[in-house]
Copies of this chain bind each other. A is one copy, B any other.
Amino acid sequence: MATLKQVAAHADVSVQTVSNALNAPHRLRPDTLERVTRSIELLNYRPNRNARSLRTSAVELIGYCVPSWHGGQAHLVMDQFLHALCAAAETTGRHILLFTAPSGADGMSVYDDLHARRLVDGFVLSQTETHDPRHGWLKEQAIPFVSFGRVWKESTQPGPYVDVDGAGGCAMATRHLYDGGRRRIGFLGWPRTSGLAEDRLTGWRDTCVELGLPVDGLAVHCVEDTFDEGARGAASLLDASEPVDAIVALSDVLALGAMRELNRRGLAAGTDVAVTGFDDSPLASVVSPALTTVRQPIDLIAHELIDILTGPAESEAPAERLLQPELIVRGSSAPG
């Protein structure tokens, strides 16, 4: 491997000049730059990143904790997210460093260690939970980070974040069902203790109220994000004295559970009862008819995250960006 010194010798300039050719080419006279560039190419020189990082104390690596795959809770769009995050990081010359850590406060020593040993410059947080302790901790340690998702605390959120307007997404779905003639729209959610669930629920509820549709007893809280829970929730909405003619589900998984239940009862999803999901995961096209769902703008999210993390240090208030999702209409929400 050629070094800066060898290139300098070859081009008959000082190492400083070669370094400038790479990092500040405008400082060189055109002919010098050309000569140096030729030497660089000839010797196939690549700057050693470790040496650079040691000097500048910036590693250009961003830490991301891979969520563990516990009990059926699959991260169906994680591959898309990771690819987008990686691509976004690369547009700034950075890369993603993956690591595992215990969830919650127990994992903070891992984050701390990674940063202290200069393996990463900062972190992108995802799988953000309600009252997630990581944000406050990192902020306190002055470790750079940006969060995908909110912590849903009452007070102001520590540090910058990017999130998707879940309420807006569910409002879109609800309005779409209304436009398709549905007048009794149920909601399949998670327990209220989840800020994300509460947010999406609000979108459905407010829209129903606005449209003059009933909401009482039409929101079911599933215990976990599984097909079985979705089916169970749908069953309770269908067994009510006045059954629903549409279901807005907080996730694709719950939506598919609901469709399975419809199927079991000989009801046609989309014509008898319309169903919508959330995430546009690969699951959405498993079923027939395919699932209408709310898609998060993954590429945009990734770019915003990288932009915030690598941009100039926060002036005053940390960045808070709320992105709009998109409704992907498919067969499961055919007009009734």
Contacts and interface: CB of A to CB of B under 8 A. Distances in A.
Interface of A: 1, 44, 46-51, 53-54, 57, 59, 61, 64, 66-69, 72, 74-76, 78-80, 82-83, 86-87, 90, 95-100, 113, 116-119, 227, 256, 260, 263-264, 282-283, 285-288
Contact of A80 (B69, B283, B288): B69
Per CB-CB distance, the 5 closest pairs between chain A and chain B, nearest first, are A74-B282, A46-B116, A96-B98, A50-B53, A50-B54
Given A100-B86, A118-B49, A78 B76 contact: no
A95 B97 contact: yes
A244 to B, nearest CB: 21
A306 to B, nearest CB: 13
Nearest to A98: B96
Main SS of the interface on chain A? mixed
A86 B59 contact: no
Q: How many copies of the shown chain assemble into the complex?
A: 2
A57 B54 CA distance: 13
5 contacts: A50-B53, A50-B54, A64-B98, A72-B285, A96-B99
B48 A54 contact: yes
B100 A83 contact: yes
B53 A79 contact: no
A286 B285 contact: no
A232 to B, nearest CB: 13
A95 B98 contact: yes
A92 to B, nearest CB: 13
Nearest to A49: B117
A95 B86 contact: no
Contacts of A46: 113, 116-117
Given A51-B54, A61-B97, A75-B79, 13 more contacts: A46-B116, A46-B117, A48-B118, A49-B117, A66-B79, A68-B83, A69-B83, A78-B78, A83-B100, A95-B99, A95-B119, A97-B98, A98-B98
B69 A86 contact: no
A97 B97 contact: yes
Contacts of A288: 260, 263-264
A4 to B, nearest CB: 13
B97 A96 contact: yes
A266 to B, nearest CB: 11
A164 to B, nearest CB: 18
Contacts of A48: 54, 117-118
Nearest to A62: B98
Contacts of A49: 117-119
Contacts of A117: 46-49
Contacts of A57: 50
A96 B97 CA distance: 6
A57 to B, nearest CB: 8
Nearest to A116: B46
